[in-house]
Amino acid sequence: MSFIVVIPSRYQSIRLPGKPLVDIGGKPMIQRVFERAQLSSAERVVIATDDERIQEAAKGFGAEVLMTSPDHPSGTDRLAEVAEQLNLSGESVIVNVQGDEPLIPPAVIDQVAKNLISNPDCAAATLSHSIESKEEFLDPSAVKVVADATGKALYFSRAPIPWPRDLGLDGDLPTCFSPQRHIGIYAYRVELLKDFVDWKKSPLEQLESLEQLRILHQGQSIHLEHCCEAVPAGVDTPEDLERVRLALES
């Protein structure tokens, strides 16, 4: 199984300024993510950034780092530039690991890569986990996904899908009902990344603010699997940061 990991990393963050370089147990967060990725089966782990402060920090702990354009509208566009800089073939597989997930299990990195490699008719692969509370099911920040019998994603939405016909707003989720929350880790074939940057945003992508809908809009398939391990939430706020610090201490 041959794949590389790319960790897009931007310095700016509205809720947590300088997020990639915040200290977690004596190391910057981007180093924590890099070290988790190195524990996977990836043959190469690359940090992609547009900020010299992140570049300097990454070189300081021995990471391979590439400087990319500051004008990319998304991390996927940044991955496409990395693929171009590295002169990767169209069949090469890149796993996009978010730079704010210092507790990501290496096993799920391997899982999503293997998932894509095992499904040559798919252009991308991703993961999900079961939703167990109605609060999470109704939460628009929790992206839901539904798939067909072969594991290909049918749709991603911030809305609660699928909706049980007889479920009232005050009722509990049916015991036999297992809606899926999307986990934001992707494996891509480089040929898809090359196409992605040339496609216009799709109407549904703009409506839901979910760029994976651009891939489905173009008739490409995204394969979905249930994650093999629980994936702790990433770091978006100071409260998230304190949670991760406590988790590592324990």
**pLDDT at residue 87 in the model:** 93
**pLDDT at residue 91 in the model:** 92
215: Cα within 13 Å, side-chain hemisphere: 26
Q: Classify 212 in phi/psi space as left (phi over 0), alpha (psi -120 to 50) or beta.
A: alpha
**pLDDT at residue 79 in the model:** 92
* pLDDT score of 59 more than 70: yes
CA distance 65 to 154: 35
What mean pLDDT, rounded, does the chain reach? Answer: 91
Q: Each residue of 122-150: b (16+ CB within 10 Å) or e?
A: bbbbbbbbebeebebbeeeebbbbebeee
pTM for this model (two decimals): 0.91
Q: Pairing state of beta strands 64-67 and 93-96? A: unpaired
CA distance 32 to 183: 19
* pLDDT score of 123 more than 80: yes
* pLDDT score of 170 more than 70: no
Mean of pLDDT values over 196-212: 94
Q: How far is CA 96 from the centre of its chain?
A: 6
Q: Pick from 187, 231, 194: which is nearest to 4 by CA?
A: 187
**pLDDT at residue 109 in the model:** 97
* pLDDT score of 233 more than 70: yes
**pLDDT at residue 237 in the model:** 82
For the chain, which domains are there? 4-249 (3.90.550.10)
